[in-house]
Amino acid sequence: MIDIIDIKKAQENLDGIVYKTPLAYAPVLSDMVSNNIYLKKENLQQTGSFKLRGAFNKISKLSKQERDKGIVASSAGNHAQGVAYSAKYFNCDATIVMPEATPQLKINGVKSYGVDVVLHGDNYDEAYKKAVQICQKEQKNFIHPYEDDDVICGQATIGLEILQQLNDIDIVLVPIGGGGLIAGVAKAIKYHKPDIKIVGVVASGAMSMKESFEAKKPINSKTVKTIADGIAVRDTSEKMLKLLLESIDDIVKVEDKEIANAVLFLLEKQKIVVEGAGATTVAALLHNRLKIKNKNIVALLSGGNIDVTMLSVIIEKGLIKSSRKMNMVVTLIDKPGALKELTNIFEACQANIVQIDYDRASLSLDFGDANVTISLETKGEQHQTDIRKALRDSAYNFKELR
């Protein structure tokens, strides 16, 4: 059971350890979506995400004898760093099991605290099973990332902070993976202001909690696949589902391309780096998942631990989705001057060529033809429409790559 008294005790436990992260008005985003949007920036938290709150609160409540046995955790990355930080603080041994596809930035972040890292499985749930096996074999204490009351109370302190930072709130948007963050935030906020709506956001490639919430019974996914690795949870916890059914109002979903667009938007317009999971709330706003106007909305940015390689992929996808980059293959006659004629069209359209590749040997080509794979910087959808028209007017065959 999650009690408001325990949440307030968690806030005392975390005093001097976690940052009281900013809650900042976002004017550009507010104008774009016709609502008043405030960003709760947990991406600026120590260890780069909200997970430190729950992990530290849990480990602080273990006895010295329990800590001396050592602790084990499973995580897609952020909980791992929270546990690792806390283990170092309390001087206890820790083993962290992470999925094999975990971004290197998060792996390095965990290792920097001097803990043992085990890479296992394709997703969080497979890493979790391995961590439980290690716990049973070595008789250590398991620190669950969300299905633990002390962890949930730690995450709930974000809800208390939001209420202290802003009086007039209509909706709080929260990312959902296993459900610990939104369960805690909802408990803290609803206790004080039950009229505030709590809305969760999931990635379309990790839909188990949304499907379970709508069916009011646990439904597990067969697979999960999303750039939002922090919420890539395959199985629904019965305990967490029960908490969510009691405390939250709705769950919406966003696509990976929309998440990428939100990461890019936050980087460009807000000058902050947010990982895929943390950007889901802004993606829901940018793509009108709430279908409301003139409301005061808090969007929780849950973390900022994004791998540089993943960030480059997300930027690329975001540029394509926002019509600022155009990738295509153009077929032309393989003769002197043919490429120049093509580039003259792009010059006339004021499209900047950023990458080009010339292929005359592909088996799919007719003799005497060549394929030019080209990337263009463009200025929006109308600009791209003009480029397509210019190519058609000059009788070029082309295919866009998305």
| CATH number reported for the structural domain that contains residue 358 in this entry | 3.30.70.260
DSSP state of 17: T
Q: Total structural domains in the chain?
A: 3
d(CA 146, CA 63): 20
Q: Are residues 286 and 392 in the same domain?
A: no
Given 117, 142, 167, the domain boundary residue is 142
d(CA 182, CA 175): 7
Q: Are 349 and 386 in contact (CB under 8 A)?
A: yes
pLDDT for residue 318: 78
Q: Are residues 181 and 315 in the same domain?
A: yes
pLDDT for residue 111: 92
d(CA 30, CA 33): 5
For the chain, the residue count is 402
Q: Which residues of 293-326 are buried (b: 16+ CB within 10 A; e: fewer)?
A: eebbbbbbbbbbbbbeebbeebbebbbbbbebbb
d(CA 358, CA 340): 12
At 276 the three-state DSSP class reads helix
pLDDT for residue 361: 87
Strand ranges, E, within 153-302: 171-175, 197-203, 250-254, 296-301
Residue 243 CA from chain centroid, whole number = 22
Q: Are residues 332 and 390 in the same domain?
A: yes
Q: What is the pLDDT along the chain (402 residues), one digit of tens a residue?
A: 789 999 999 999 999 999 999 999 999 999 999 999 999 999 999 999 999 999 999 999 999 999 999 999 998 789 999 999 999 999 999 999 999 988 888 888 899 999 999 999 988 889 999 999 999 999 999 999 999 999 999 999 999 999 999 999 999 999 999 999 999 999 999 999 999 999 999 999 999 999 999 999 999 998 899 999 889 999 999 999 999 999 999 999 999 989 988 999 999 999 999 999 999 999 999 999 999 999 999 999 999 999 888 888 888 877 887 899 999 999 999 999 999 999 999 999 999 999 999 999 887 888 999 999 999 999 999 999 999 999 999 999 999 998
Q: Are residues 282 and 387 in the same domain?
A: no
pTM of the shown model: 0.88
Q: Are residues 276 and 183 in the same domain?
A: yes
Q: Are residues 129 and 17 in the same domain?
A: no
**Helices 4-14 and 180-192: crossing angle, nearest 10°?**
110
Q: Are residues 132 and 257 in the same domain?
A: no
Q: Are 320 and 378 in contact (CB under 8 A)?
A: no
Burial class from Cβ neighbours inside 10 Å (0-12, 13-18, 19+) for residue 272 reads middle
pLDDT for residue 254: 98
Q: Pick the closest to residue 248 from 198, 174, 179, 212 (CA basis).
A: 198
Q: Are residues 38 and 60 in the same domain?
A: no
pLDDT for residue 209: 97
Given 87, 120, 142, the domain boundary residue is 142
Identify the CATH number of the domain in which residue 171 sits. 3.40.50.1100
Structural domain containing residue 363: 324-401
Q: Are residues 196 and 68 in the same domain?
A: no
Q: For tokens 């394929």, what's the residue?
A: 371
Given 142, 165, 192, the domain boundary residue is 142
Q: Are residues 275 and 179 in the same domain?
A: yes
List, in sequence order, every residue forming a beta bridge with 250; answer none if it has no partner: 199
Q: Are residues 152 and 204 in the same domain?
A: yes
Q: Are 275 and 230 in contact (CB under 8 A)?
A: yes
Q: Are residues 36 and 79 in the same domain?
A: no
